[in-house]
Amino acid sequence: MTESGFTCPKGLDNQFSPNLYVANCGPAVGLSFDIIKSVFGTFGEVMGVHAADNSGARVIVCFHEVTAAQAAIKALNGFPCPALRGRTLHIRYSVPRQQKVQSDYSLPVSLSASELATPGIHLVHEFITAKEEEELLAAVDIRPWKILSKRRVQHYGHEFLYETRNVDSKQFLGELPSFVSHVLEKIMSFPGLDENNSKLMDQLTVNEYPSGVGLSPHIDTHSAFDDLIFSLSLAGPCIMEFRKYPEGTWKPPDDVIVDKVSSSQCSTFARKAIFLPARSMLLLSGEGRYAWHHYIPHHKIDTVGDHVVRRSSRRVSFTFRKVRRGPCCCKYKQYCDSQMVR
């Protein structure tokens, strides 16, 4: 490892890089960075010269172009260089060192719904193909987005009103777009659903999350939507956490971001998490839909088992729901806005 943030691993000789590790060269042997830059600059634009370590006799030369580094290593490696006091240089390609990254997310992450073991929550991997994913993303990217504080959204069928966390059931935007027809067909045959539960979805919210942006803990308003909520993940993965609060205990307001929770707070509610890969479809129903807050941590890096997973530059979710006509009569009264005592 080097002080400059570069490394010179063995076996890199055949892997070209615009950065060169140069030994027998530096202030300790009477060569200033300016002189080194001038000499190497005859092969191409030099972006910088840095100390490779604390010895003063090894440097990193960073070119703008790989071809310049190739020319320099061919001309100078192993040969005395008159312009550098006749010193024989030993040169290898160098690369930026890999930073050790860790997520502060310590909750165990399930890879399947059966492992999560929460009633009403189901997950199907590879629900659509990579080609279908590409087509869905292209379809929304040519349509206008509504800008929120940290993400962009599109609404179809009915617009979701974030101020009231509800929809205006009287304001109909039209049928769901044709580009999701094949997704709706697959939803109708989703594993575990019977004909009575397979109601036609009539509301779609498309969310685009930049890397590091998540979702505040919340339960979708009971009176706004029926039992089934489907969420299709596109373009990138994420972790979704579920939290259930015992009856009569505090639960976080839906508009408050709760990312890091103290151990004393953790003891007041159950926590579970599941990994949602790209192209997977998540179903929230029953207890999982009505009684568990769902939440996407605001991280750029997630820990899944022994693996560190970086969030992609964007994640796009397609959330399909059916607008409820009338009050909710579920058995989870603590969380039900239709049945709460005011």
pLDDT per residue as tens digits for the range 75-90? 999 999 999 989 999 9
Per-domain residue ranges of the chain: 6-96, 113-335
pLDDT of the residue at 27:
83
Quick one: average pLDDT of 130-149? 94
Identify the weakest region by mean pLDDT among 56-70, 95-109, 142-156.
95-109
Q: For residues 92 and 259, what is the distance between their CA atoms, to the nearest angstrom?
A: 44
Confidence of residue 140 (pLDDT cuts 50, 70, 90): very high
Angle between helices 130-141 and 181-188 (to 10 degrees): 130
The dihedral of CA 58, 64, 69, 72: what is its sign? negative
Alpha carbon 168 to chain centroid, angstroms: 31
19-23 and 301-304 beta bridge pairing: unpaired
**pLDDT score of 265 more than 50:** no
Please report the pLDDT score of residue 251 as a whole number. 45
pTM given for the model: 0.66
CATH topology of domain 6-96: Alpha-Beta Plaits (3.30.70)
The answer to whether the Cα torsion of 259, 262, 268, 269 is positive or negative is positive
Residue 112 confidence (pLDDT): 93
256 CB-contact burial (10 Å; exposed 0-12 / middle 13-18 / buried 19+): exposed
Q: Which residue has the higher pLDDT, 120 or 50?
A: 120
For the segment 217-241, the average pLDDT, to the nearest whole number, is: 93
Q: Which two tokens stand for residue 202?
A: 């009539």
Q: How confident is the model at residue 73 (pLDDT cuts 50, 70, 90)?
A: very high
Checking if the pLDDT of 2 tops 50, the result is no
In this predicted model, what pLDDT tens digit does every residue of 267-292 receive, in sequence order?
478 899 999 999 999 999 999 999 99
Q: Is it the case that residue 143 has pLDDT exceeding 80?
A: yes
Tell me: pLDDT of 65 over 90: no
pLDDT in tens, 18-39: 889 999 998 888 888 889 999 9
Nearest to 322 by CA among 139, 126, 188: 188
Grade residue 41 by pLDDT with cuts at 50, 70 and 90. Answer: very high
Q: Single out the residue of 228, 215, 213, 202 nearest to residue 290, CA to CA.
A: 228
Taking the alpha carbons at both ends of the chain, their separation in whole angstroms is 63
How confident is the model over 245-258, as a mean pLDDT? 51
For 286, the enclosing helix (H) or strand (E) is helix 286-290
pLDDT in tens, 184-205: 999 987 766 755 554 689 999 9
Domains 6-96 and 113-335 share a fold: no
Q: How far apart are CA 342 and CA 166, in angstroms?
A: 18
CATH of domain 113-335: 2.60.120.1520
